Amino acid sequence: MQMEKNAESPARQRLTALFDEGVYHEIGSCVIEKDALAAVVTAYGYVNGNPVYAFAQDSSVNNGAVGMAQAEKISRLYALAAKTGAPVIGIYDSNGAFMDGTAVPLNAYSLMMERVSALSGVVPQIAVVTGVCAGSAAMMACASDFVVMTETAEMFLTPHFEKGAGSAKACADNGITALTAKDDADAFTQVRTLINLLPVNNMAFAPCMEFDAPTAASGKDLASYVDSIVDGGSVTELFAEYGGAAYTALATVCGTTVGIVGTAKTDDALTEDGCAKIARFVRICDAFSIPLITLVDTIGFAGSTETELTGSVRALTRLAGSYAEATTAKISVVTGKAVGAVFTALAGKGSNADFAYALEKAYIAPLLPEAAVEFLWHDKLKCCQDLNAKRQELAKEYTATLASAESAAKLGILDEIITPSDMRAVLSSALTMLEGKRVTNLPKKHNNFPF
Q: What is the DSSP letter of 103?
A: S
Out of 197, 230, 249, a domain closes at: 197
Q: Is residue 386 part of a domain?
A: no
Q: Is residue 373 part of a domain?
A: no
Q: Is residue 450 part of a domain?
A: no
Q: Is residue 442 part of a domain?
A: no
Q: Are residues 241 and 191 in the same domain?
A: no
Angle between the N-to-C axes of helices 423-433 and 222-229, in degrees from 0 to 180, rounded to the nearest 10: 60
Q: Are residues 288 and 189 in the same domain?
A: no
Q: Is residue 115 part of a domain?
A: yes
CATH code (residue 268): 3.90.226.10
Report d(CA 62, CA 46) in Å as an integer. 29
Q: Is residue 49 part of a domain?
A: yes
Q: Are residues 191 and 282 in the same domain?
A: no
Long-range residue pairs from 444-449, CB within 8 A, at least 24 positions apart, any chain: 447/321, 447/325, 449/317, 449/318, 449/321, 449/322
Q: Are residues 234 and 345 in the same domain?
A: yes
Report d(CA 12, CA 19) in Å as an integer. 11
pLDDT (tens place) for every residue of the chain, 451 residues total: 446 677 789 999 999 999 999 999 999 999 999 889 999 999 999 999 999 999 999 999 988 889 899 999 999 999 999 999 999 999 999 988 777 767 777 788 899 999 999 999 999 999 999 999 988 899 999 999 999 999 999 999 887 667 778 999 999 999 999 999 999 999 999 999 999 999 999 999 888 899 999 987 667 899 999 999 999 999 999 999 999 999 999 999 999 999 999 998 777 788 889 999 999 999 999 999 999 999 999 988 876 556 555 557 888 889 999 999 999 999 999 999 999 988 999 998 877 899 999 999 999 999 999 999 988 888 888 877 788 888 899 999 999 999 999 999 999 999 999 999 999 999 999 999 999 898 888 898 888 888 7
Q: What is the DSSP letter of 60?
A: T
Helix (H, G, I), strand (E, B), or coil: what is residue 32? strand
Q: Are residues 187 and 227 in the same domain?
A: no
Q: Are residues 48 and 162 in the same domain?
A: yes
Q: Are residues 83 and 176 in the same domain?
A: yes
Report d(CA 225, CA 420) in Å as an integer. 7
Tell me how far CA of residue 295 lies from CA of 54, 330, 406, in angstroms: 35, 11, 18
What's the structural domain count of the chain?
A: 2
What are 154's strand-pairing partners?
132, 167
Q: Are residues 127 and 40 in the same domain?
A: yes
Q: Are residues 27 and 167 in the same domain?
A: yes
Quick count: other Cβ atoms within 10 Å of Cβ 200?
A: 20
Q: Are residues 64 and 139 in the same domain?
A: yes
Q: The domain containing residue 236 runs over which residues?
A: 222-362+404-436
pTM: 0.94
Report d(CA 365, CA 141) in Å as an integer. 42
User: Is residue 105 packed enough to be buried (19+ CB in 10 Å), middle (13-18) or exposed (0-12)?
Assistant: buried
Q: Are residues 190 and 289 in the same domain?
A: no
Q: Is residue 78 part of a domain?
A: yes
Q: Is residue 308 part of a domain?
A: yes
Q: Are residues 160 and 233 in the same domain?
A: no
